[in-house]
Amino acid sequence: MNTGRQREFDYLKGFMMILIFIIHAFNSVYDKIMSGRNESGKDSKKKVQTKNKANKKSE
The per-residue pLDDT string of the chain (59 residues; one tens digit each, 9 = 90 and over) reads 667 788 888 999 999 999 999 999 999 888 888 887 765 555 555 555 666 666 666 65
Phi, psi (deg, nearest 5) at residue 37: -125, 150
pLDDT at 4: 74
In the chain, what are the domain boundaries? 3-58
- What's the rounded Cα separation, in Å, for the pair 6 and 8? 5
pLDDT at 48: 57
pLDDT at 55: 65
DSSP readout, 1-59?
--HHHHHHHHHHHHHHHHHHHHHHHHHHHHHHHHTTB-TTSSBPHHHHHHHHHHHHHH-
pLDDT at 5: 80
